[in-house]
Amino acid sequence: MKNNISLEQHNELQQRLEQKLILSQAILQRLELLTLPYLDLTNKINEELLSNPFLEETSLKEETRESEDRDVGYGESIETSHKKDSFESVDLGDYFENYLDPGYKTRKVSTDEDKNVFENIAVKPISLYEHLMWQIDFLDAPKNILEIAKEIIGNLDDDGYLNVSLEDIASSLKVDVEEVEKALQLVQSLDPPGVGARNIRESFLIQLRQMGKENTITYEIVDKYHHLLEEGDLEGIAAKLDVDIDLVKESIEELKKLNPRPGLQYSDDKNIFIVPDVFIKKVGNDYVVILNEEGIPNIRLNEKYMELLKKGEFEKKDEQVLRKKLKDAVELIKGIYKRNTTLYRVATVIVNKQRDFLDKGIEYLKPLSLKDVAEEVGVHISTVSRVVTNKWVQCPQGVFEMRKFFSTGFKSSSGEDISVNELRSKIKEIIEREDKTKPYSDSKIAKILQEEGIDIKRRTVTKYRELLGIPTSRDRKLK
């Protein structure tokens, strides 16, 4: 270290960096848990129960009773005794206060009649292309930039990387490179983090930025000293940064938590079996949101192991490993809580916004954007995108992928929202009542809809007619 930095200042700096490292790993864990559907979450928890001694399974009834009787001061006493032991990085007071409260637990309404409905239903998981194109539809950006972004998405490989030069894309679309750069930035803001990068270094920088880690040693290493990183020259990096090599090693461990192949999670083309993550039940005149928690282990911290660790009952060589296990256990419980509360709140907003659909059917599905839900729930748009991906909802109208409740729409001349599904139904109805000897062209259908007060272009009519599987007017004409 430089001579003008005291040992006390150095220790304070190192402590802050360690706390940021712990935070970033916690963020990564919670991001992963947000995306997990029912079956994957169940498997994740079972794996952690086997590998982490600080976790134990308990019945919900037992956990609720004990959380009500628990002395919260115990957690606080551990947290405030950090000068005597090394529990300062495990916020146990926060854990006991916020994560044992079953506040997100949903109202108990029987779902027994639905248990075996889905055993033989299998679907294809959504692809990376579908996931990105779905998000693009909700972005507020100039139309030309959105079109270029769609072209970029079409050129991503299975790992989510762009292997085509911006110049080639600009040339093929006959646009400026600057416009392609703006579109690429748009793609790189989408979920999963790191997508749209041109190399692993750029992918890691994107992921770190999305975690708010621009002003960290880890970011600086990837940004400025990636050549030394590739050579494994940790001492060289430490010298350039003028920090202890231990901090560099910790940054390397943080980088190992990042995803070098962000698109890979969407490349599996095997069928998946549908198990609803959310049930929406009608009780009286109201709809109730119920998270599917059947079969998911209810977990808590093992207090016996915590007490043994606090008393120093383990050998020094084992303590560091065990302390990390304890941190991992706390973060897992927090992450599950975050996943469940976010999923529940998003589902509740969907119920409130889509009441007509729940009452009357698919034709009454209203336009709903990720931004609308994110603002109401109080989270970032990407959080909503993650929590609804690969999740399924069972409601009175059937079983739907959760992201199907989100769609763009159109405005009538009176300002009324018109959903895509409603628009498609109108196009179908117009074609069904046309004179088959003189079928309507797409331009004529657009004009009819415009006369009804719907602002729509011919090419939009063409798009939805093709999605409905309806031939052109020439092919529909009776000979």
Q: Looking at the 3D structure of the chain, how many domains does it have?
A: 2
Find the CATH number of the domain harbouring 172.
1.10.10.1330
* Residue pLDDT, tens place only, 268-294: 665 667 788 999 999 988 999 999 888
Confirm whether 300 is domain-assigned. Answer: no
Q: Give the residue-averaged pLDDT of 403-427.
A: 73
Pick from 144, 172, 189: which residue ends a domain? 189
Cα separation of 78 and 75, whole Å?
A: 5
Residue 428 lies in domain: 409-476
* Confidence at 181, pLDDT banded by 50, 70, 90: very high
Of 189, 212, 238, at which residue does a domain stop? 189
What is the mean predicted confidence (pLDDT) over 32-53?
86
Q: Show the tokens assigned to 228.
A: 């030394």
Amino acid at position 381, single letter = I
Output the pLDDT for position 280: 92
Q: Which of 53, 127, 137, 109 is nearest to 323 (CA)?
A: 53
| Domain CATH code at residue 459 | 1.10.10.60
Has residue 112 been placed in a domain?
no
Report the distance separating Cα 463 and Cα 447, nearest Å: 15
pLDDT digits (tens, 9 = 90+) for 81-92: 333 334 444 445
> Taking 70 as the threshold, does the pLDDT of residue 237 lie above it?
yes
* pLDDT greater at residue 105 or residue 220: 220
Lowest mean pLDDT among 117-121, 156-160, 368-372: 117-121
| Among 153, 173, 189, residue at a domain's last position | 189
Q: Are strands 392-395 and 398-401 parallel, antiparallel or unpaired?
A: antiparallel
Give DSSP secondary structure letters for 388-437.
Answer: HTT-EEEETTEEEEGGGG-B-EEEBTTS-EEEHHHHHHHHHHHHHTS-TT
Checking if the pLDDT of 185 tops 90, the result is: yes
Count Cβ atoms within 10 A of the Cβ of residue 266 and give its class: 0-12 exposed, 13-18 middle, 19 or more buried. buried
For 267-315, where are the alpha helices, taking DSSP H only?
303-310
Is the separation of the CB atoms in 342 and 373 below 8 Å?
Answer: no
- What is the model's pLDDT at position 63? 53
Question: What is the radius of gyration, based on Cα positions, of the chain?
Answer: 27
Phi, psi for residue 56 in degrees, rounded to 5: -145, 150
Residue 324 CB partners (closer than 8 Å, separation 6+): none
Residue 205 is assigned to a structural domain of this protein: no
Structure confidence at residue 121 as a pLDDT band (50, 70, 90): low
Would you say residue 157 lies in a domain?
yes
- Condensed to tens digits (0 to 9), the pLDDT of residues 312-321 reads 777 777 777 8
Q: Is 308 or 332 the better-scoring residue by pLDDT? A: 332
Q: Is residue 131 part of a domain?
A: yes
Percent of the chain with pLDDT over 90: 14
What distance lies between CA 65 and its chain's CA centroid? 32
Whether 233 contacts 221, CB under 8 Å: no
pLDDT in tens, 13-31: 555 544 444 444 555 666 7
Query: What pLDDT does residue 61 have?
Result: 52
Helix (H, G, I), strand (E, B) or coil at 261: coil
- The number of CA neighbours under 13 Å toward the Cβ of 332 is 24
Mean pLDDT of 184-197: 91
| pLDDT score of 202 | 93
Asked if residue 12 is part of any domain, the answer here is no
Within a domain: 438: yes
On whether the CB atoms of residues 446 and 412 are closer than 8 A, the answer is no
